[in-house]
């Protein structure tokens, strides 16, 4: 079923200012969007703005004679093919979890059989509170899909988990299972794709570690896009603060060695391996079991040893999957990437210039140059999800060509 009739619930929180953009992006996917505001939401975003972007009246009153005379709440609940609530505040989350019908939005959720996606946004302490976590678990157990929250600086000045996911990331998660891009539908059907993502953490002692700036967004976008295009996807992730992509098997690891073991276990059965993780090249030779004391020390020397090159080891398997590396470079990107392509015996390598602040690490956009032994492709700057769709198209073409040559 393709859901085109979306009910967007907006609850009270500063992140509500992102809701008009979400409506715009949903409509770009061909969705018909009706908006319901909680009382709290009206303090952050106006019904007029949402009416203008959605092209429909905006609803907020449970007992509204005009509304009941037109499209009443039962009718609206039946009309919706999908419900997304963004942002979802701690208060409305509690009401939903406990089946309250004390405003229009919670009443509609009770009266509807449509699948529900919730996008929480709140102060990080509120998010971590056991009451909130218990409420989220109740919703998940009931089948709701939770998107986010993300990690970062919050409106209140604190830093932590609780930011609302970006509208584009929400749309990417809402649409895969409902509206795969037509021309690419079934593109990756039958393929088993293994993807690594995020950073690794190499322990120094029980409280300190060596890591890097990778957020995991590139690898997670690839996993979501590959699953959308029909592949069976396994995602091996270092420590990140991202929600699992829909329909993807996720395995969490911490260190380069753990990632190596997890990848090698899965690689035997994969058709394609995409190594988007920023794996630490070095780890502390012997992590200390007790916290290193500063007292009196003027310096500290750590003995580092090389970690296994996971990608090179996979490419060296007797029957390797089609291997796609990433190269994070700060100078002469293509020259260094070509060297990695050859030395690691890869089929493709995608290079991003991480000296640029607008693409690469942590941000939602990227720009790639993809190299094979004989060809160069350029994927212009775009969201990591759109970049992933293009990269997967290139991978599919090169994978098919390689198999044709092998079988001829």
- 8 A C-beta contact, residue 230 and residue 254: no
Q: How far is the CB of 282 from ligand PMT (least distance, A)?
A: 9
* C-beta atoms surrounding 106 within 10 Å: 22
Q: Which is nearer to ligand PMT, 80 or 341 (CB)?
A: 341
Question: What residues are paired with 36 via a beta bridge?
Answer: 9, 59
**What gap in Å lies between CA 330 and CA 261, rounded to an integer?**
29
Supply the minimum distance, in Å, between the C-beta of residue 256 and ligand PMT.
5
Residue 67's SS3 state is: helix
Question: Please, which residue, 362 or 400, has the CB nearer to ligand PMT?
Answer: 362
| Secondary structure (3-state) at 377 | strand
Residue 214: CB minimum distance to ligand PMT, A: 4
Nearer to ligand PMT by Cβ, of 11 and 200: the residue is 200
**Residue 109 known to be catalytic:** no
Catalytic residue among 109, 156, 323, 398: 156
Supply the minimum distance, in Å, between the C-beta of residue 217 and ligand PMT. 4
CA dihedral 173, 179, 182, 185 (to 10 degrees): 60
The C-alpha atoms of residue 58 and residue 175 are separated, in whole angstroms, by 23
Edge-to-edge strand order for the sheet containing 32-37? 32-37, 5-10, 82-88, 116-120, 145-146
Q: How far from 101 is each of 59, 62, 63, 65, 249, CA to CA, in Å?
A: 15, 9, 12, 18, 35
Query: Which C-beta is closer to ligand PMT: that of 77 or that of 240?
Result: 240
Tokens in use for 108? Answer: 């509609």
Phi, psi of 20 (to 5 degrees): -60, -40
Between CA 5 and CA 12, with CA 11 as vertex, the angle to 5 degrees is 155
CA angle 169, 382, 323 (to 5 degrees): 90
Token pair listed for 17? 């200012």
Nearer to ligand PMT, 117 or 361 (CB): 361
In the complex, what is the shortest distance from the CB of residue 151 to ligand PMT, in angstroms, rounded to a whole number? 12
Three-state DSSP class for residue 365: strand
In Å, the largest CA–CA distance within the chain is: 78
Residue 39 vs 382, nearer CB to ligand PMT: 382
Instruction: Find the shortest distance in angstroms from Cβ 287 to ligand PMT.
Output: 17
Task: Kindly tell me which of 53 and 226 has the beta carbon lying closer to ligand PMT.
Answer: 226
Q: Which residue has the tokens 């061909």?
A: 30
Q: Rounded to the nearest 10 degrees, what angle do helices 90-97 and 130-141 cross at?
A: 50
Least gap, CB of 179 to ligand PMT (angstroms) = 24
Report, in Å, the least distance between residue 124 CB and ligand PMT.
20
Distance of CA 124 to CAs 149, 156, 349, Å? Answer: 9, 10, 38
Query: What does R_g of the chain's alpha carbons equal in angstroms?
Result: 23
- The site for ligand PMT (CB under 6 A) is made up of 198, 214-218, 256, 275-279, 281, 307, 309-311, 325-328, 340, 352, 354, 360-362
* H-helix or E-strand spanning residue 234: strand 232-237
Which is closer to ligand PMT, CB of 160 or CB of 239? Answer: 239
Residues classed as catalytic: 156
């Amino acid at each position: 079923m393709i859901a085109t009739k979306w009910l967007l619930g907006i609850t009270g929180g500063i992140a509500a200012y992102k809701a008009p953009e979400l409506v715009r992006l949903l409509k770009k996917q061909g969705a018909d969007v009706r908006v319901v505001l909680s009382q709290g939401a009206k303090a952050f975003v106006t019904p007029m703005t949402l009416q203008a972007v959605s092209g429909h009246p905006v609803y907020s009153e449970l007992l509204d004679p005009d509304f009941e005379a037109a499209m009443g709440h039962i009718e609206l609940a039946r009309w919706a093919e999908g419900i997304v609530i963004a942002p979802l505040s701690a208060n409305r989350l509690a009401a939903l979890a406990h089946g309250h019908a004390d405003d229009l939005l919670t009443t509609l959720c009770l009266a509807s059989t449509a699948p529900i996606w919730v996008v929480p946004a709140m102060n990080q302490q509120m998010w971590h509170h056991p009451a909130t976590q218990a409420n989220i678990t109740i919703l998940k157990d009931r089948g709701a899909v939770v998107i986010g929250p993300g990690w970062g600086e919050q409106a209140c000045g604190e830093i932590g988990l609780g930011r609302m996911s970006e509208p584009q990331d929400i749309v990417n998660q809402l649409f895969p299972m409902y509206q795969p891009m037509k021309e690419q539908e079934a593109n990756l059907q039958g393929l088993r794709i293994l993807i690594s993502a995020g950073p690794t953490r190499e322990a120094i002692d029980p409280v300190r570690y060596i890591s890097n700036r990778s957020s995991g967004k590139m690898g997670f976008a690839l996993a979501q896009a590959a699953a959308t295009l029909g592949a069976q996807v396994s995602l091996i992730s270092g420590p990140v603060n991202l929600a699992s992509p829909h329909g993807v098997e996720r395995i969490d690891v911490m260190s380069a060695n753990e990632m190596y073991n997890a990848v090698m276990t899965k690689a035997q059965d994969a058709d394609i391996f995409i190594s988007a993780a920023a794996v630490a090249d070095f780890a502390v030779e012997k992590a200390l079991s007790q916290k290193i004391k500063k007292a009196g020390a003027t310096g500290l020397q750590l003995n580092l040893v090389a970690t296994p090159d996971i990608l090179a080891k996979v490419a060296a398997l007797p029957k390797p999957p089609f291997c796609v590396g990433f190269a994070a470079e700060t100078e002469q990107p293509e020259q260094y990437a070509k060297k990695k392509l050859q030395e690691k015996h890869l089929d493709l390598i995608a290079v991003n210039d991480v000296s640029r602040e607008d693409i690469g690490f942590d941000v939602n956009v990227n720009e790639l140059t993809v190299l094979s032994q004989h060809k160069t492709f350029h994927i212009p700057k775009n969201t990591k999800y759109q970049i992933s769709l293009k990269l997967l198209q290139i991978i599919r073409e090169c994978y098919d060509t390689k198999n044709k040559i092998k079988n001829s």
